[in-house]
């Protein structure tokens, strides 16, 4: 993975997205330490994976099928002075 110093990345910013698309992820370092990675949108979407619907998420729960004992609280509402 190519490494760019932050000063180079600022000076040649238009090259970063192009290189991320053509070559692959581009690493940016600050004071010699890896700090960030620029990815193409395709690579980002691939890594992120498909986003499940809420229904699919709930069905994949390890607690699916557990019966809940839910009772409504029948106590009277509290008195509020208006």
Is residue 50 domain-resident?
yes
Q: Are 35 and 58 in contact (CB under 8 A)?
A: no
Q: Total structural domains in the chain?
A: 1
52: domain CATH number is 3.40.1620.10
Q: Which domain holds residue 33?
A: 3-59
* pLDDT tens digits in sequence order for the chain, 82 residues long: 889 999 999 999 999 999 999 999 999 999 999 999 999 999 999 999 888 899 998 889 888 888 888 888 888 888 888 8
Phi, psi of 34 (to 5 degrees): -55, 130
Q: Is the pTM of this model over 0.75?
A: no
Is residue 75 domain-resident?
no
Residue among 52, 12, 4, 46 at smallest CA distance from 28: 4
């Amino acid at each position: 993975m190519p490494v760019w110093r932050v000063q180079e990345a600022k000076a040649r910013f238009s090259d970063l997205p192009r290189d991320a698309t053509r070559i692959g992820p581009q690493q940016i370092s600050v004071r010699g330490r890896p700090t960030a990675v620029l990815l193409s949108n395709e690579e980002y979407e691939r890594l992120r994976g498909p986003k499940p619907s809420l229904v699919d998420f709930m069905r994949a729960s390890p607690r699916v099928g557990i019966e809940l004992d839910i009772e409504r609280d029948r106590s009277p509402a509290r008195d509020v002075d208006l």
